Amino acid sequence: MEAVHERFLRYVKMDTTSNEANKQSPSSEGQMVLARLLAQELKDMGVTNARADEHGYVYGEIPANCEDQPSIGLIAHMDTIDAVPGRSFNPRVVQYEGGDICLNAEKDIKLSMDVFPELAQKVGKRLIVTDGTTVLGADDKAGVAEIMTACERILQEDSIRHGKICIGFTPDEEIGRGPNLFDVPGFGADFAYTVDGGAIDEIEYENFNAASCKVTVHGRNIHPGRAKNKMKNAARIVMEFNAMLPEAEKPEYTEGYEGFYHLTMVRGDEENAFAVYILRDHDRLKLEERKAFIRRTADFLNARYGEGTVEVALRDAYRNMREVLEHRMDIVERAKKALAANGVEPRCVPIRGGTDGATLSFMGLPCPNVGTGAANGLSLIHI
């Protein structure tokens, strides 16, 4: 049986970066290549009805070997985020003995104890790290590798009693499209768990409510020598808009259940400028208040510079799955018991982000998240 870390090292060398600009599913060819590979590996190990569909979704099932048990789904996503330039993925295993980890001596890239104090908890462990020039892909190929290895073990060990197990791998989670074409009825699970990031002892059944916001500023460019009382500098106005947002309500100043406004992009000149934000809050009413504040800020600037100067486009992304799962806490309790049975003290933490399980829960498939063992998910996982 192939060890989970060996599978992981194989998968992360494949480029499955999702591409938001491509509206097809999957949004990148690499995801389709991995989908076909996973479907074949599932078939080879004996998973029933293993298949990859035309949209890059992988499905399969292990029939029940006992009665009176629910059908449980295990889900992970195949894509990785486009957070660091570069497509040559070079993970390696290190035996960690403390201090900073040199990822790339030539480029002087390291994992610093000052920036990542949680490294102190990894002393004496073997870690898989990147070479510092790309993401590792632990989000979420760690989940993919763990589910694949679990399937192989379940099929090989008759002593493991279980109901029907449904396997699903999704594309394009990182760009918010993972559940869009997921076949919930065909999947056949009563409930499921995403295996998507987080420490090994974490169970997560609540996440941010999310919205996106694009701010567009229409200016008027006049020669600076003759600009008095005529110019409307769009670049400066978009900076003014950003300065009006609450300073303390940004990701770098928040934690736990605290929401935020996060500027992800800003571009412009005197004539035209725009900024892109994501808005997050665990409380749905507070997210609505954030959206209202965005609109009031635009209204204020339009009153100052003229109607139509500032336009905002708001779009809801996903909701807090707690709205569904607080009525199905038996699913969470089942995960707690599983961790405890394996010597792990479980803890429930809120996700400061999103997951396929959030949208799937509202699609009729209750789906909390369990951890993969990743830490600093862009660059490190311990084995």
CA separation for the pair 221, 234 (Å, rounded):
8
CA separation for the pair 124, 107 (Å, rounded):
26
Catalytic residue among 15, 41, 79, 140: 79
41 is annotated as an active-site residue = no
Residue from 116, 107, 111 nearest 136 by CA: 111
Catalytic residue among 61, 131, 139, 173: 173
- Please count the other Cβ atoms lying within 10 Å of the Cβ belonging to residue 229: 5
Q: Counting every residue, how long is the chain?
A: 383
CA separation for the pair 143, 210 (Å, rounded):
23
79 is annotated as an active-site residue = yes
- Please count the other Cβ atoms lying within 10 Å of the Cβ belonging to residue 333: 12
Give yes or no for a contact between 232 and 219, defined as CB atoms under 8 angstroms apart.
yes
Give yes or no for a contact between 316 and 308, defined as CB atoms under 8 angstroms apart.
no
Phi-psi label, residue 112: left if phi above 0, alpha if psi -120 to 50, beta otherwise: beta
Catalytic residues: 79, 173
